[in-house]
């Protein structure tokens, strides 16, 4: 039987899902949160759908074994590719990042021209395009994959002043600026770490959509609706798991969250899966 005191589980390939973690923590301070970053296998975005599905299932399996009451796929690549496999596998509330992102973009765009940036796998899956088409078929979508953004974010080279980050962002985003979009979806949870660089490059007339806030709102609604939200006022705990040495995750994560990440554990989810 699921109960309110069980933790929430969040996973991503690395530090990117911390952008979602931050908003979940803000919206639900009383909840215990388990975060898994699959740092041994990052990046997901350059891999085949079969591989991404396999990794996503291993991550979910690890968190479910830790007794989570709700699962958040804080990774667009895994959401775009493995959502239905995860739903088929687990009988618990599962929240993805693609639908909330598409919803926010549709609400924001005035000219009905939306840009999507994401990993190669996310862009190839056309998940955002299909979701936006479902919401409002008059919206024109322009897509661009930005594979070098994930290593930049993992490395922590994300300041606006960083010439390498700016140069790479320019190369990817210059063609998108020409399309007349007024809204740009950060369709990878790593990208909000580079938000300042991206905003600087595209200019302030384009609204950046980071789905994290919308995901946090949806999580509150789902917990309420399923009777799983904690009722007590307390500071919830935060536990982080990584699948490779924690040093870089700890450094980049601490910088991004603005506080030390102390509770970081190295785990072997592949061994867990076969045990």
The contact set with ligand DGL (CB under 6 A) reads 12-13, 16, 42-45, 75-77, 119, 122, 150, 188-190
Q: For residues 190 and 230, which CB has a smaller minimum distance to ligand DGL in the complex?
A: 190
Q: For residues 122 and 166, which CB has a smaller minimum distance to ligand DGL in the complex?
A: 122
Which position among 33, 68, 74, 75 bears the catalytic label?
75
Q: In what order do the strands lie in the sheet with 94-95?
A: 94-95, 70-73, 8-12, 33-37, 238-242, 264-266
Minimum distance of ligand DGL from residue 127's CB (angstroms): 11
**What pairs with residue 183 in β-bridges?**
114, 207
Minimum distance of ligand DGL from residue 153's CB (angstroms): 8
158 flagged as catalytic: no
Q: In what order do the strands lie in the sheet with 183-186?
A: 140-145, 113-118, 183-186, 207-209
Q: For residues 76 and 183, which CB has a smaller minimum distance to ligand DGL in the complex?
A: 76
Minimum distance of ligand DGL from residue 160's CB (angstroms): 21
Q: For residues 77 and 104, which CB has a smaller minimum distance to ligand DGL in the complex?
A: 77
146 flagged as catalytic: no
Helix (H) or strand (E) holding 97: none
Radius of gyration of the chain (CA): 18
Residues 100, 129 contacting (CB under 8 angstroms): no
Residues 70, 230 contacting (CB under 8 angstroms): no
The separation between CA 10 and the C-alpha centre of its own chain, rounded to angstroms, equals 9
Minimum distance of ligand DGL from residue 16's CB (angstroms): 3
Residue 5 carries which DSSP code? T
188-207 per-residue burial string, b: 16 or more CB within 10 A, e: under 16: bbbbbbbebbbbbbbeeebb
Minimum distance of ligand DGL from residue 26's CB (angstroms): 19
Which position among 188, 201, 206, 215 bears the catalytic label?
188
Neighbours of 262 (CB within 10 A): 9
Q: For residues 44 and 241, which CB has a smaller minimum distance to ligand DGL in the complex?
A: 44
52-64 per-residue burial string, b: 16 or more CB within 10 A, e: under 16: bbbbbbbbbebbe
Q: Give the residue numbers marked as catalytic.
A: 75, 188
């Amino acid at each position: 039987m699921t109960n309110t005191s069980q933790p929430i589980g969040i996973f991503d390939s690395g530090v990117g899902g911390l952008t979602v973690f931050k908003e979940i923590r803000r919206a639900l301070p009383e909840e215990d949160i388990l975060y898994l970053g699959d740092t041994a296998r990052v990046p997901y975005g350059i891999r085949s759908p079969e591989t991404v599905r396999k990794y996503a299932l291993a991550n979910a399996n690890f968190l479910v074994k830790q007794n989570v009451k709700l699962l958040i796929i804080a990774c667009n690549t895994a959401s775009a590719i493995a959502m239905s496999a995860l739903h088929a596998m687990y009988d618990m509330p599962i929240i993805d990042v693609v639908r909330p992102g598409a919803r926010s973009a549709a609400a924001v765009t005035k000219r009905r021209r939306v840009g999507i940036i994401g990993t190669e796998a996310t862009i190839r899956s056309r998940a955002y395009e299909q979701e936006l088409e479902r919401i409002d078929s008059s919206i024109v979508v322009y897509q661009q994959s930005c594979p070098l953004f994930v290593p930049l974010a993992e490395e922590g080279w994300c300041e606006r002043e960083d010439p390498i980050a700016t140069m790479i962002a320019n190369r990817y985003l210059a063609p998108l600026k020409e399309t007349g979009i007024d809204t740009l979806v950060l369709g990878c949870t790593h990208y909000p770490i580079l938000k300042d660089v991206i905003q600087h490059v595209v200019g302030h007339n384009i609204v950046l959509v980071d789905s994290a806030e919308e995901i946090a709102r949806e999580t509150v609604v789902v917990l309420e609706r399923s009777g799983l939200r904690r009722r007590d006022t307390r500071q919830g705990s935060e536990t982080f798991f990584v699948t490779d040495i924690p040093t870089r995750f700890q450094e980049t994560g601490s910088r991004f969250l603005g506080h030390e990440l102390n509770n970081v554990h190295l785990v072997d989810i592949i061994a867990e899966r076969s045990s």
